[in-house]
Structure 1
Amino acid sequence: MAVRFGVLGCSSVARRRSIPALVSHPDATLAAVASRDPEKAKAFAAEFGCDAAGYDELLTRDDIDAVYVPLPTALHVPWGLKVLAAGKHLLLEKPSATSAAGARELVRAATEQDLVLRENFTFLHHPQHATVARLLAEGRLGQLRSFSAAFCFPPLPAADIRYDAALGGGSLLDAGVYPIRAAQLLLGDDLTVVGSSLRVDGRTGVDVAGHALLVSAAGVLVDVKFGFEHTYGSSYTLWGSTARLTLDKAFTPAATWQPVLRIEEQDHTEEFVLATGHQFLGAVASFTAAVLAGRGAGHAEEAAGLRSMVRTMELVEDVVRLANRLPA
């Protein structure tokens, strides 16, 4: 039995990454794609061998079990709620919402319907992070003192939706959520934002770069950097009392990339070349497994993931609330 998907929104990431992963997985099939532009939906449908549909039409189809939503962030909650109200499982592009209240609303709806709701942070499904977590748990770094992470890339075309405040644009919601979520993954959800700065474009009103300082419940110092005005960078470092671990290409590695994990001690350095990993395929596999196993939002593992989803948005709100705003 395969999970029958519909896709609500014909975005670039859907075409390049998520839909190819979806149609290649043996437990998933693609029934239909929808777009505000009928011609765009037809082009996607022809490329991936499925039907084209309108948004509302897609949600009424009996041959769809789950819907993947790669719409702009500001549309995640209204359309996500419609997907859940239609009785469909929901795979929602990150971040889940533009506010913690919106994320909580999605969780309530999924719980009431006992449906699977996942936020599509694909990097969480790359095996390199499990290796890091294992080394940390084994005490390879001694007592962890700090965690630093960054996700930055060059400026986008002027018309890109990530410069549109009304659609949930800005570097914090698009890039900053990655290092924040990585801190949650490795240190737990009990993080506190203690300070932040945002560089804001006066023309668009969106943040184009930022830096936030947090601290974990265990006293680990955390700093995260993000932005749209840098050369590309995607990495994190864990610094302990006896060693420091660094992982490059932490958030968006190609499926063919072999991660290199570097551990540095005072007089010794080791490098571990890890196995490749297809994180988009891993995200699809994990989601379809949950659906086929009947693990709705109330299941313990699913509920834990949803708590982290909401916590991410609470931390984002704290970064904004505490931010020192600088002109870009």
Structure 2
Amino acid sequence: MFNCTGDRLRIGIMGCADIAWRRTLPALEDDPAVEIAAIASRSAATARRFTDRFGGVPLEGYDALLDVDGLDAVYIPLPGLMHAEWVTRSLEAGKHVLVEKPLTAGAAETRRVVAYARERGLVLLENYMFLYHSQHAAVRKALDDGAIGELRGFSSAFTIPPKPAGDIRYQRDVGGGAFLDFGGYPVRAAQYFLGGDLRVVGAVFRRDREHDVVMSGSVLLATPEGIPARLTFGMEHSYRNTYALSGATGRLLLDRAFTPPESHRPVLRVERQDHAEEITLAADHQFANVIATFTAAVRGERDITPQQEGSLRQAELIEEIRRAALVVDV
């Protein structure tokens, strides 16, 4: 239940990341069940710029946010290597937490914060937002309906062009490189379609010598039945975010799989030996759906145990991939 007596979830924003400005805060602002109560940044000027657009009280410093009276929840879009500390401190302050992916930078930390949230009866939800778009359920239904026969393989790619010098992803101790930031998307998609019992077969990472961070890589996972998942990520490519499922009689392909805008109508391509068709799916707002899930969980109307179990397995897989990877310095 909400911690305060009001009927709206009073949420504080911890960090002024680009994803918050472009996608999450507009969705929070539009949700009638949510009130943006305060926005905290290391810079008072940045906090004011955000509150001028989205409302709430501007605060300098993340500690100040946790001292706000009547705050029910915290949204954390900080760099991934900072998540464990501030998720823990938010939970200690009695706040429900919505946190950008990755939930933490390691499997042990993820297990610890999930267990602590459960112990305290608080909601802790990792924002792998693409999982909340209806297009993926449509793809899975097509697969279950036999559109391509028995599944034989999965492939996925999330790649972007190089970022400007100074981008946080180039900072080893804060951003942590490409794999920690967005390399997990194809891994989580593989888990969505193939289940959590995936084994790491191998991986190759390209590490930048100057910054000591992973810039790109490829990963091979497999189910116990031998169905492979071939995954690619990187920030030294053209832009791609896509996946494909190969079956005994055809393929299902989905482009813009992870970052579709809410107005975008996804196109599912079905290919068979003697037939190809494109099925236009409904537009959906994955960020709004995440927020609705979070607020429903806080109200006690939604069980997010499956999402948390997915986050736990995701953290384990990321760690297993890192250990298995052949790292090449470039």
Instruction: Name the counterpart of 2:209.
Output: 202
SS at match of 2:245: strand
Structure 1 position 122 matched with structure 2 position 124: no
Q: Contact 1:122–1:279 (CA<8 Å) still a contact in 2?
A: yes
The CA deviation string for residues 197-236 of structure 1, in whole angstroms up to 9 with x for no partner, is: 0000000000100000000133211110000000000000
Of the candidates 16, 38, 53, which is equivalent to residue 22 of structure 2? 16
Cα 1:317–1:168 shift into 2, 3 Å:
farther
Structure 1 position 305 matched with structure 2 position 312: no
Structure 1 position 144 matched with structure 2 position 156: no
Runs (5+) with no aligned partner, structure 1: 296-300
Q: CA deviation at 1:260?
A: 0.5
For 2:225 and 2:130, the matched residues in 1 are separated by 25
Instruction: Name the counterpart of 1:264.
Output: 271
Q: Contact 1:98–1:168 (CA<8 Å) still a contact in 2?
A: no
The CA deviation string for residues 166-193 of structure 1, in whole angstroms up to 9 with x for no partner, is: 0142111112100000011111111011
For 1:265 and 1:27, the matched residues in 2 are separated by 45
* Alignment root-mean-square deviation, CA: 1.1
For 2:284 and 2:224, the matched residues in 1 are separated by 31
SS at match of 1:63: coil
Q: Contact 1:171–1:208 (CA<8 Å) still a contact in 2?
A: yes
Structure 1 position 248 matched with structure 2 position 250: no
Q: CA deviation at 1:57?
A: 2.0
For 2:304 and 2:129, the matched residues in 1 are separated by 16
Worse overlay, 16-25 or 58-67:
58-67
1:18 counterpart letter in structure 2: T
Runs (5+) with no aligned partner, structure 2: 1-6
Instruction: Name the counterpart of 1:279.
Output: 286
TM-score using structure 1 length? 0.96
For 1:101 and 1:294, the matched residues in 2 are separated by 29
Instruction: Name the counterpart of 1:298.
Output: none
Deviating runs (4+, > 3 A) in structure 1? Answer: none
Structure 1 position 32 matched with structure 2 position 43: no
For 2:22 and 2:42, the matched residues in 1 are separated by 19
Report how many aligned residue pairs link the two structures: 323
1:317 counterpart letter in structure 2: E
Worse overlay, 286-295 or 144-153:
286-295
Of the candidates 66, 70, 92, which is equivalent to residue 63 of structure 1? 70
For 2:286 and 2:66, the matched residues in 1 are separated by 27
SS at match of 2:304: helix
For 1:178 and 1:133, the matched residues in 2 are separated by 17
For 1:107 and 1:217, the matched residues in 2 are separated by 27
Instruction: Name the counterpart of 1:82.
Output: 89
Instruction: Name the counterpart of 2:299.
Output: 292
Q: CA deviation at 1:294?
A: 5.6
Worse overlay, 215-224 or 146-155:
215-224
Identity of aligned residues (%): 46
1:321 counterpart letter in structure 2: R
What is the correspondence of 1:216-255 to structure 2 with a 5 Å cutoff?
A: 216-255=223-262
